[in-house]
Amino acid sequence: MARVLVSEKIADGGLDALREAGHDVDVQLGLSPEDLLVAIKGAHALIIRSATTVTAEVLDAGTDLVVVGRAGIGLDNVDVAHATTRGVMVVNAPQSNILSAAEQTMALLLAQARNIPQAHNALVQGRWERSKWEGVELADKTLAVIGLGRIGKLVAQRAMAFGMRIIAHDPFVSPERARAMNIELVSLDEVAAQADFLTLHVAKTPETIGLIGVEFLAKAKPSLRVINVSRGGIVDEAALADAIREGRIAGAALDVFEKEPTTESPLFDLPSVVVAPHLGASTREAQDKAGDTIAEQVGLALAGEFVPFAVNVAAAEASETVRPYLGVAEQLGAIFAGLDGGIPAQVEIEYQGELAGYDTRILTLSVLKGMFGATSDEPVSYVNAPQLATEQGIEVKDSSTSSTVDWINLVSISGGGHQIAGTLVGLRAEPRLVQIDGHTLDVPPSAHLLIIHNDDRPGVIGRVGTILGDARLNIADMDVGRSSKNHDAAVMVIATTDAVPAEVVESLEASDGITSVAVVSAG
pLDDT tens digits for range 240-267: 999 999 999 999 999 999 999 999 999 9
Exposed, middle or buried by CB within 10 Å (0-12, 13-18, 19+), for 24?
A: middle
pLDDT above 80: residue 269: yes
Q: Rounded mean pLDDT of 150-179?
A: 95
Q: Rounded mean pLDDT of 351-368?
A: 91
User: Please, which pLDDT band fits residue 426 given cuts at 50, 70 and 90?
Assistant: confident
- Does residue 69 contact residue 294 with C-beta atoms inside 8 Å? yes
This prediction's pTM? 0.65
- Does residue 221 contact residue 250 with C-beta atoms inside 8 Å? no
What's the pLDDT at 317? 65
What's the pLDDT at 316? 56
pLDDT above 70: residue 415: yes
What's the pLDDT at 381? 80
3-state secondary structure of 437: coil
In terms of average pLDDT, the best of 40-54, 80-94, 452-466 is 40-54
Verify whether residue 278 is a known catalytic residue. Answer: yes
Active-site residue identified among 86, 278, 432, 439: 278
Q: Rounded mean pLDDT of 402-420?
A: 88
In the β-sheet with 489-496, what is the strand arrangement from edge to edge?
A: 395-401, 346-353, 409-415, 418-425, 430-436, 439-443, 475-483, 489-496, 449-455, 514-520
Rounded Cα–Cα distance for residues 119 and 132 (Å): 8
Each domain of the chain, given as residue ranges in start order, spans 3-94+285-302, 98-275, 323-520
Exposed, middle or buried by CB within 10 Å (0-12, 13-18, 19+), for 139?
A: exposed
Amino acid at position 437, single letter: D
Mean pLDDT of the chain: 92
Indicate the range of 414-418, 419-423, 442-446, 463-467 predicted with least confidence: 442-446
What's the pLDDT at 25? 97
Higher pLDDT, 95 or 45: 45
Q: Rounded mean pLDDT of 439-466?
A: 88
User: Please, which pLDDT band fits residue 522 given cuts at 50, 70 and 90?
Assistant: low
In terms of average pLDDT, the best of 189-203, 311-325, 406-420, 450-464 is 189-203
* CATH number for the domain running over 98-275: 3.40.50.720
Q: Rounded mean pLDDT of 446-459?
A: 88
Amino acid at position 468, single letter: L
Return the CATH class of domain 323-520.
alpha beta
User: Please, which pLDDT band fits residue 315 given cuts at 50, 70 and 90?
Assistant: low
Verify whether residue 378 is a known catalytic residue. Answer: no
Same fold: 3-94+285-302 with 98-275: yes
What's the pLDDT at 486? 65
Q: Rounded mean pLDDT of 468-478?
A: 91
pLDDT above 80: residue 238: yes
Contacts of 193 (CB under 8 A, 6+ apart): 219, 221
Tell me, letter by letter, the H, E, C secondary structure of 116-174: HHHHHHHHHCCCCCCCCCCCCCCCCCEEEEECCCHHHHHHHHHHHHCCCEEEEECCCCC
Q: Rounded mean pLDDT of 388-416?
A: 89
Contacts of 444 (CB under 8 A, 6+ apart): 430, 431, 432, 433, 477, 495
Architecture per CATH, 3-94+285-302: 3-Layer(aba) Sandwich (3.40)
| H or E element, residue 334 | helix 326-339
pLDDT in tens, 31-40: 999 999 999 9
Active-site residue identified among 169, 201, 231, 439: 231
Active-site residue identified among 129, 137, 207, 260: 260
Q: Rounded mean pLDDT of 140-160?
A: 96
pLDDT above 60: residue 523: no
Q: Rounded mean pLDDT of 123-130?
A: 96
Instruction: Cis check for the bond before 431: say yes or no (omega within 30 of 0).
Output: no
What's the pLDDT at 484? 63
pLDDT above 80: residue 390: yes
What's the pLDDT at 398? 92
- Does residue 190 contact residue 167 with C-beta atoms inside 8 Å? yes
What's the pLDDT at 38? 97
Q: Rounded mean pLDDT of 309-332?
A: 84
Q: Rounded mean pLDDT of 378-405?
A: 85
- Does residue 143 contact residue 152 with C-beta atoms inside 8 Å? no
Q: Rounded mean pLDDT of 364-376?
A: 89
pLDDT above 60: residue 455: yes
Distance of CA 304 to the CA centre of its chain: 13
Give the N- to C-terminal CA distance of the chain in Å, as an integer: 19
User: Please, which pLDDT band fits residue 483 given cuts at 50, 70 and 90?
Assistant: low
Higher pLDDT, 104 or 81: 104
Verify whether residue 231 is a known catalytic residue. Answer: yes
